[in-house]
Amino acid sequence: MLGRSNEQKRIESNAKVLKKVRILKGLSRKDLAKKLNVTDKAIEKFENARDKLSETRLLKILEALEISYEDFLKIKRGKLLQSKPRLKNVITNSDRRSYQKIITKEVRALKALRILRKLSQDKASYLCGYSRPTIGHIENGRIAVDRERIHHIVGCLGLKIEDFEKYLNAEVMRHEVIDQCRNKILDLPDEKLSLIKGIIDSLG
């Protein structure tokens, strides 16, 4: 019951923000429905939290509203949408931030901290108050992270910013080395695998 309650809260929160952005953009439900090639009733269902939005559908709506996923999350955290005049540029999907993969040292360090805490991406998203796939998007380089967000995530993981700085300044990431070793081991023939096992056993 608790899980359903939290999920419903997330759906209602997303719906509230989407409606707020639509109104601030000066769009009617009919205008947005036209952009998405859906009915006015479909938009009404989204905004009244009567229809659960998939991550793909959410990204399509944000694209139609001309707002990034990052800004959407900021509004959910209480930041006001800046209604500045902007030049209308025609851009391709590959130019959009949500379609790019930019994995920075900061992102790698955040992933290392999550693994250190033995948390799944979904659990980490929940602890941070984000929607379920958000940490996955961050670790895959699809959402930019600023200093404020880094502090927020590190704190929600129950760690200190010094822990983040330690991984940020590390030459190699522990989990990346483990992944590389695992991939190498999977490709080894049986005789070499036995040799590696002997080396690992001797370390234990």
Domain boundary assignment for the chain: 2-79, 105-168, 175-203
Taking 70 as the pLDDT cut, the residues of the chain under it are 1-5, 79-100, 204
| Matching CATH number, 105-168, of 1.10.260.40, 3.40.50.150, 1.25.40.10, 1.10.3720.10 | 1.10.260.40
Please check whether residue 164 is in contact with residue 116, taking contact to mean a CB–CB distance below 8 angstroms: no
Question: In which region does residue 78 sit, left (phi positive, over 0), alpha (psi from -120 to 50) or beta (all else)?
Answer: left
Tokens representing 173? Answer: 């990431």
In degrees, rounded to 5, the angle at the alpha carbon of residue 43 between the alpha carbons of residues 39 and 45 is 110
Taking each helix axis from N to C end, the angle separating 105-116 and 174-186, rounded to the nearest 10 degrees, works out to 80
Name, in order, each residue with C-beta under 8 angstroms of 131's C-beta and a sequence gap of 6 or more.
Answer: 10, 14, 55, 125
The reported pLDDT for the residue numbered 156 is: 92
Question: In which region does residue 104 sit, left (phi positive, over 0), alpha (psi from -120 to 50) or beta (all else)?
Answer: beta
Please give the Cα distance from 109 to 164 (Å, whole number). Answer: 6
Please give the Cα distance from 76 to 27 (Å, whole number). Answer: 20
Q: Would you identify the CATH topology of the domain 2-79?
A: 434 Repressor (Amino-terminal Domain) (1.10.260)
Max CA distance (Å), the chain: 69
The reported pLDDT for the residue numbered 91 is: 38
- Residues 143, 146, 151, 152, CA torsion sign: negative
Please check whether residue 69 is in contact with residue 143, taking contact to mean a CB–CB distance below 8 angstroms: yes
The reported pLDDT for the residue numbered 83 is: 45
Tokens representing 103? Answer: 């994995």
Please check whether residue 44 is in contact with residue 76, taking contact to mean a CB–CB distance below 8 angstroms: no
The SS3 of residue 148 is helix
